Amino acid sequence: MSQFLQYTLQGLAAGGFYALAALGLAVIFGVLGVVNFSHGACYMLGAMASALLLKNLHLGFWPALVIVPVLMFVFGVVIERLFVQWLLKLDPLYNFLLTFGLTLFTVDLMKRLYGVSSQPYEVPAGLRGRLSLGSVDLSTYQLFAAGFSLLVCAAVWLVLTKTRVGMIVRASTEDAERSRALGINVARWVTPVFGFGIALAGLSGVLAAPYRAIDADMGSNFVIILFAIVVIGGLGSILGAVVAGFLVGLVEAYGQGYYGQISQVLIFVLMALVVLVRPSGLFGREESA
């Protein structure tokens, strides 16, 4: 029983992290209708940027937690202005291909610049060790990463539901035509939202740095799981991404605990089941299916 609880706790911790990473993907799809395949590469860039800040400027985890998302926001804005905006009017496939190409380019560029081996990184001083909760325990860092992810998810949700900006963004997501007719400048929000989504990917990269191998390829497998999460949650649904993030975290943990090598397959079995019953995902709108 205590082992089951331990798996559950680990699943929830992983889930919080997945939720944050999937959130950026969901926001970008929700507002721009862009399936951002480069999300995994941006996650990698976030982790690489943290490692480089440490190596070259001796800036550790805490400064990186602030600096990297800002850098990634700027990166996102530049990409949106330079490329993404021109393809928005066309079939979504064009932007999908663009972000796919961007991924190949970024990954190979990083390999060329920094090699293929993992970059060193440390767990920040205040977050080493473990916390016990009765019969189960978790590393302090994992607990922090999950809690921090949840806070960010909650903050994003609050901004979207309780503020005027959030209302405009949601209205543009729901019905861009009608929002425009009501005098809302939808286009004005497209660039910052894209930048924000990329910043979230970068932020999850920073959170991954002390816990995972930092190398150019780290995003390539990760992005596949993220896509499974947003499909399960419903493309573009914020709540869906968060709930599905936790669900996938749990499925993965139970899978690892009880079914070993097929733990990743189980994630896609879950996706297949959800799509079979609800083609638009758990929280997706029917028309987006």
- Which residues here bind other proteins, judged by CB under 8 A? 3, 6-7, 10-11, 13-14, 111, 115-120, 122-123, 128, 130, 137, 139, 141-142, 210-213, 215, 217-218, 221-222, 252-253, 256-257, 260-265
CB of 50 to other proteins, least distance (A): 14
Closer by beta carbon to other proteins, 144 or else 189 = 144
Smallest separation (angstroms) from other proteins to the CB of 138: 9
User: In angstroms, what is the minimal distance from the CB of 24 to other proteins?
Assistant: 18
DSSP state letter for 119:
B
Other Cβ atoms less than 10 A from the Cβ of 87: the count is 17
Closest listed residue to residue 201, CA positions, set 67, 22, 50: 22
- Work out how close the CB of 145 gets to other proteins at its nearest, in angstroms, rounded to a whole number: 11
User: Which residue blocks in 84-175 are alpha helix, DSSP H?
Assistant: 85-87, 92-114, 140-162, 164-174
- In the complex with other proteins, the residue whose CB is nearer, 218 or 244, is 218
CA–CA separation, 39 and 220 (whole Å): 9
**Closer to other proteins by Cβ: residue 25 or 44:** 44
In degrees, rounded to 5, the angle at the alpha carbon of residue 100 between the alpha carbons of residues 95 and 105 is 120
Cα 191 from Cα 168, distance rounded (Å): 14
CB of 181 to other proteins, least distance (A): 46
**Nearest residue (CB) to other proteins, 81 versus 128:** 128
Closer Cβ to other proteins, 165 or 265, answer by number: 265
Dump the DSSP string for 212-260: S-BSTTHHHHHHHHHHHHHHHH-TT-HHHHHHHHHHHHHHHHHHHHHHG
